[in-house]
Amino acid sequence: MVTGAAGMLGHAVLPALRNAGHQVTALTDLDVTRLEDVRTATLKARPDWVCHLAAYTDVDGCESREDHAMKVNGEGAGNVAAAAAGAGAAILSMSSDYVFAGDDPKPRRENDPTGPLSAYGRSKLAGEQAVRAANPRHAIVRTAWLYGQGGKNFVDTIRARALAGGPLAVVDDQRGSPTWTQDLAGALVQCMVKGAVGTFHATNEGSCTWHEFAVEICALAGANVTVSCLSSAELARPARRPSYSVLDTSRLQQVLGHPLPHWRDALARYLAQPAPVKR
Ligand SMILES: NC(=O)c1ccc[n+]([C@@H]2O[C@H](COP(=O)([O-])OP(=O)(O)OC[C@H]3O[C@@H](n4cnc5c(N)ncnc54)[C@H](OP(=O)(O)O)[C@@H]3O)[C@@H](O)[C@H]2O)c1
């Protein structure tokens, strides 16, 4: 059973599960803040695993709506984990690099101290804690900097602006690991198939700044535009982001037997796909 199935990661997880031969109940309308509805849907689906992707993901919006963020990302995750436990199912629940402060340049391991800088990060951390408390059969997967089909994302935005001739200015003081939802989805399916339990970090390999990422997107898109550098202070977004958001993925590599591909490789494969038809 998949919550938040209509979201960007859902667009990659559903085919990954179905192509691997699994029967999937994809939930697009279930409000995870309504515990009784979540219990009813879970008992009806009778899943082995609940893959919890639903979340309030507007990082800047969370700053002015922290109560809502806590309700959806914190309590909601706990509701889904409890309902899964009640139905005898395990839960895989998504979390974020933003649970860390990222204030020194060291890839974060799963047990490193957390310290979210934003309301979104605090709400995702509350979700992790709620999942651990509600269901011992849990895999909490922290990921970062996602892009993919079926969601507004940085790669599509930069490519479109670059092909329109620019100008482009992108922050160069935040470093992380861009991650294609399709690569991540394959790893999530493996985690469930292998019965992974605990907390895991899952991103494409390597790291870059948003500016370096934008330069690579423009190059691969064949757009000859200048990408200038901005600081986070100049951009002045409502939510603070970690300056160093790289996650150590070695625990996941033990589950999979290999790392996910490098972000440059993933980006090239994503951009080589035909653009989705606009309706
Ligand atoms: N995107 C990233 O860069 C990133 C990075 C790290 C971690 N993550 C985590 O990865 C997971 C998937 O993210 P995503 O990028 O696929 O996000 P997404 O595209 O925003 O999808 C989330 C889905 O959850 C739905 N939703 C919102 N409130 C809900 C509620 N109360 N009950 C049920 N569904 C609700 C959304 O519906 P509406 O669109 O109708 O609101 C949307 O369909 C999330 O847990 C997110 O926190 C994402």
> What does each of the 279 residues of the chain score in pLDDT, given as a tens digit?
999 999 999 999 999 999 999 999 999 999 999 999 999 999 999 999 999 999 999 999 999 999 999 999 999 999 999 999 999 999 999 999 999 999 999 999 999 999 999 999 999 999 999 999 999 999 999 999 999 999 999 999 999 999 999 889 999 999 999 999 999 999 999 999 999 999 999 999 999 999 999 999 999 999 999 999 999 999 999 999 999 999 999 999 999 999 999 999 999 999 999 766 554
Alpha helices in 93-197 (DSSP H): 119-134, 154-163, 181-193
pLDDT, tens only, 20-37: 999 999 999 999 999 999
Specify the ligand 1 atom closest to the Cα of 127.
Answer: 45
- The SS3 of residue 251 is helix
Say whether pTM exceeds 0.85.
yes
Residue 98 known to be catalytic: no
Token pair listed for 101 = 């402060």
Tell me what pLDDT residue 274 has: 78
| Ligand 1 mean position, distance from CA 60 (Å) | 14
DSSP 8-state secondary structure symbol assigned to residue 236 = -
The minimum-distance atom of ligand 1 relative to the CA of 52 is 45
Q: Which domains does the chain have, with CATH numbers?
A: 2-152+178-206+246-263 (3.40.50.720)
The answer for residues whose C-beta is within 8 angstroms of residue 153's C-beta and 6 or more apart is 8, 146, 147
User: How many Å separate Cα 208 from the centre of its chain?
Assistant: 17
Return the pLDDT at 277.
Answer: 52
Residue 166 confidence (pLDDT): 80
Give the pLDDT score at 276. 61
Catalytic residue among 120, 147, 244, 270: 120
- What was the pLDDT predicted at 279? 43
Tell me the CA distances in angstroms from 18 to 22, 43, 50, 93, 193, one per residue in order. 5, 21, 14, 19, 13
Ligand 1 mean position, distance from CA 80 (Å): 14
Helix (H, G, I), strand (E, B) or coil at 270: helix
The pLDDT value given to residue 162: 95
> Measured in angstroms, how far is the CA atom of residue 279 from the centroid of ligand 1?
23
